[in-house]
Amino acid sequence: PLFWLALLLLLALPASAAAARALWKKTVSNPDRQRRSRARAAAQRQLREAIAARDAGQPHNFYNALERALYAAIAEALGAKPRGMTRHTLAEQLISAGFSGEGSHQLLALLARCDAARFAASGSSATEGELDQLLLQAEELLTQLWRVTR
């Protein structure tokens, strides 16, 4: 009986090793999946920072974190760093990657609003309700961006 059990284990070992290796290749060693995972985690972390800044009454930090979250998601969708792109090029790249034209327009408008609020001399006069609306819009756009893969 022990002989047959040992023989069965020896025969099952290569099959289980092959299965483990295939699973490792599919998950751990996939650089695209790792890049997407890191980008999504960064975007979600920035969204949490935006929420914390909103709750703390720091609109400048809110807009900074919101912009970083959007750029992290754009970088994931495009597979390239979007910060050096013009808005026109960015819109073209998003559309060619499968993002909708309307979504691109909304995304660029939100980025422009973040820029305007961040660089305004008097700071932002947005109410907490307006910041909540911007946050909801950003979350919706992020969800749409995460559907786009390249």
Phi-psi region of 85 (alpha: psi -120 to 50; beta: other; left: phi over 0): beta
Task: Work out the number of other CB atoms within 10 angstroms of the CB of residue 8.
Answer: 10
As given in the structure block, the two tokens for residue 81 are 């760093």
Mean of pLDDT values over 59-86: 88
* Contact assessment for residue 123 and residue 60, using Cβ atoms and an 8 Å cutoff: yes
**Cα–Cα dist 125/132, whole Å:** 14
pLDDT band at 83 (very low <50, low <70, confident <90, very high): confident
Model confidence over 132-150: pLDDT tens digits? 999 999 999 998 888 876 4
The predicted structure's pLDDT at residue 109: 95
Q: What is the DSSP letter of 80?
A: S
In the chain, the percentage of residues whose pLDDT exceeds 90 is: 34
Q: Please state the pTM of the whole predicted model.
A: 0.74
Q: Residue 83, CB half-sphere, CA atoms under 13 Å: how many? A: 6
For 32-52, how does the pLDDT look when each residue is reduced to its tens digit (9 = 90+)? 777 778 888 989 999 999 999
Give the model's pLDDT for residue 75: 86
Measure the CA–CA gap between 146 and 18, rounded to whole angstroms: 32
